[in-house]
Amino acid sequence: MTDNILEVRGLRKTFVTRDAEGRGEHVAVDDVSFDIPRGSCLAIVGESGSGKTTTARIVAGLETADAGTVTLDGETDTQRRRHRGRTARPVQMVFQDPFGSLDPRQRVGNGIEELLGIHHRLSRTERRTRVLELLTRVGLDEQHAGEFPGNLSGGQRQRVAIARALSMEPKLLILDEAVSALDVSVQAQVLNLLIDIRRQTGITYLFISHDLAVVRQISDHCAVMRNGRVVEEGATAEVLGSPREEYTRTLIDAVPRPGWVPRRRTELTVARE
């Protein structure tokens, strides 16, 4: 058994595009390869359109690659498709907008209990006990189980989405911009929650983000994507501390720093003076 929970080799994904000039193709992912050691967190960073979310969706099985392989815990994507009827779901995904992944007409507790009933052989009492355990793990309580998603804050909804994903007992949890839509204070709380869950359970994360400060806090390893390709990869401290690629340095330099003032504002101020 390898020490890598996930091994991605040579992924390629092309989408058909149509515009005024006619039909074309866009290569979203181009020969992407990486490994994630068991129990660690790999962050994929890059600007919008770099291919990081498409890569994550292929790993989750939500997109089919044109070429390449995804091996999760020693099992290829082809083997996983053959076993799709099994109760175990080795990979789960938490999206940027939790409200879009929750049924607004279903109470939080019922939504999680429904998943447990479908994928686990538990009695009704066992399911309800498990629901409360999952909500407690993500910092919620029994009162939240009876709420509809629309009555919760953004941070609470994201906690519910994490609890739902954990109910499947996944080996890999994909977090696609999972904290980018949250207020800074709530973002910090959810990040600390994710760090605690990984420490307690040993689960592996694939973390998709454009926020380098968040990536520094949560990830062990980092892969930088540009135009569908991985241009730099390594330990997060090394990649973000001593980048080898000019593109990585550009991403780091684009992060606002204390005292930073936009150039346009400076020019206006000078003109007024």
pLDDT digits (tens, 9 = 90+) for 134-183: 999 999 999 999 999 999 998 999 999 999 999 999 999 999 999 888 88
Q: pLDDT tens across 6-60, in order?
A: 999 999 999 988 877 778 889 999 999 999 999 999 999 999 899 999 999 999 9
Which residue type sits at 90? P
Triad 165, 134, 195: Cα angle to 5°: 70
Question: Which residue from 68, 81, 61, 76 is spatially nearest to 14, judged by alpha carbons?
Answer: 68
Residue 181 has a pLDDT of 81
Q: How confident is the model at residue 199 (pLDDT cuts 50, 70, 90)?
A: very high
Sign of the alpha-carbon dihedral angle for 53, 55, 58, 60: negative
Residue 239 CA neighbour count, 13 Å, CB half: 26
- Tens digit of each residue's pLDDT (9 = 90 or more) over 211-229: 999 999 999 999 999 999 9
Distance CA 262, CA 109 (A): 46
Nearest to 46, CA basis, from 171, 195, 209? 209
Using the predicted structure, report yes or no on whether residue 87 has a pLDDT greater than 50.
no
* Residue 92 φ/ψ, nearest 5 degrees: -130, 160
- Each as own residue / partner, the long-range contacts of residues 178-186 (CB below 8 Å, 24 or more positions apart, any chain) are 178/94, 178/95, 178/96, 178/207, 179/209, 179/211, 179/214, 180/96, 180/209, 180/210, 180/211, 180/214, 181/96, 181/97, 181/154, 182/154, 182/155, 182/158, 183/154, 183/155, 186/153, 186/154, 186/155
Q: What CA–CA distance (Å, rounded) separates 109 from 86?
A: 24
Q: Give pTM, 2 decimals.
A: 0.87
pLDDT at residue 232 tops 50: yes
Please tell me the predicted confidence (pLDDT) of residue 180. Answer: 86
> Is the predicted pLDDT of residue 191 greater than 70, yes or no?
yes
Domains of the chain: 1-90+172-179+201-273 (3.40.50.300)
Is pLDDT of 268 > 50? no
Per the prediction, the chain carries an average pLDDT of 88
Supply 238's token pair.
């090394």
Six-digit token string for 131: 């629901």
203 contacts 137 by C-beta, under 8 angstroms? no
pLDDT tens-digit series, residues 117-142: 888 888 889 999 999 999 999 999 99
Residues composing the chain: 273
Average pLDDT for 100-112: 91
Q: Residues 190, 9: contact at Cβ < 8 Å?
A: no
Residue 265 has pLDDT above 60, yes or no: no
